[in-house]
Amino acid sequence: MNRFASLEFDDADPPSKRESPGEPVRDAPFFYRQAMLAWLGGDWELGLRNYSRALERNHALFEAWSGQVMMLIELGEYPEAQVWADKALELFPEHPELLAEKAIACVRDEKLTKAMAYSDNAVSKDRLTWRVWLSRAEVVMRRKGRLAEECVHKAVTLGGGSVNVTRLEAGRVLSMHGRYAAALEYLERAVKDFPKSPLAWYELGRCQSQLGLSQAAASLQQALYLRPDWPCAVRQMDRTLKAGLLIRVWRRLLGR
């Protein structure tokens, strides 16, 4: 069974660390799961806190180190993300995913030479994961041709038990870099995999909006239903509705 298939959006930020009868044990796996729920909700701050809580309980949990770095990247804290990736590399020397995450931090910070160096190092290792290839896709995205999309395909092929997360991230990366047509298929599948995820619906709606598709407003409305007043979804909805209005006015002027 896919290990993310049963995620539900309940209280992702437990009010107390104290356990009582009937409550789940607040161990590292518990907070890791809460961090994943926060990520699916597009709440990077909450995700970061929960990854940190997981590390408090198990300092050797690689997934929590990796997740903490990714949340810092999502928050735009690129130098800080590299600092924490380096801390993680002290525990997991030359780990390809951590090198790949440093590459993502650099490419989003417009430090392209460093990004390529970290990515080259990552893909030179053994037992590469989907995250390494998705990072590679970001690093080579500005090149002409289909190399980036081939790297995305490799990532999805290696997704295994996390393939639904891989597809969502693949769609996000492609959409972030303007490859909306290629992103659409992944994001349409993502909302089927994660129908309660505000992040999945937001990314689909943003992509549909960029392609001028009429379904965009409905997808964004679903994101806002799941996470009311989410600022980025509100802004995207406003842009989408304004664009739709302009198109209708233009068509009237043309007599169509």
How far apart CA 43 and CA 33 sit, in angstroms, is: 14
- Domain-by-domain residue ranges, the chain? 28-197
Per-residue pLDDT tens for 43-88? 999 999 999 999 999 999 999 999 999 999 999 999 999 999 999 9
Q: For the chain, what is the total number of helices (H) and then of strands (E)?
A: 13, 0
Phi-psi region of 20 (alpha: psi -120 to 50; beta: other; left: phi over 0): beta
- The whole-number pLDDT of residue 142 equals 87
Confidence of residue 145 (pLDDT cuts 50, 70, 90): confident
User: Quick check: 15 pLDDT over 90?
Assistant: no
Average pLDDT over residues 225-245: 90
Helix axes 216-226, 198-210, angle to 10 degrees: 160
Average pLDDT over residues 150-172: 96
Burial environment of residue 153 by CB neighbours within 10 A (0 to 12, 13 to 18, 19 or more): middle
Q: What topology is assigned to 28-197 in CATH? A: 1.25.40
User: Quick check: 120 pLDDT over 60?
Assistant: yes
User: Quick check: 37 pLDDT over 80?
Assistant: yes
Q: Which two tokens stand for residue 248?
A: 């209708």
Q: DSSP H helical segments within 140-230, as ranges?
A: 147-157, 163-176, 180-193, 198-210, 216-226
Please tell me the pTM assigned to this model.
0.86
- The whole-number pLDDT of residue 244 equals 62
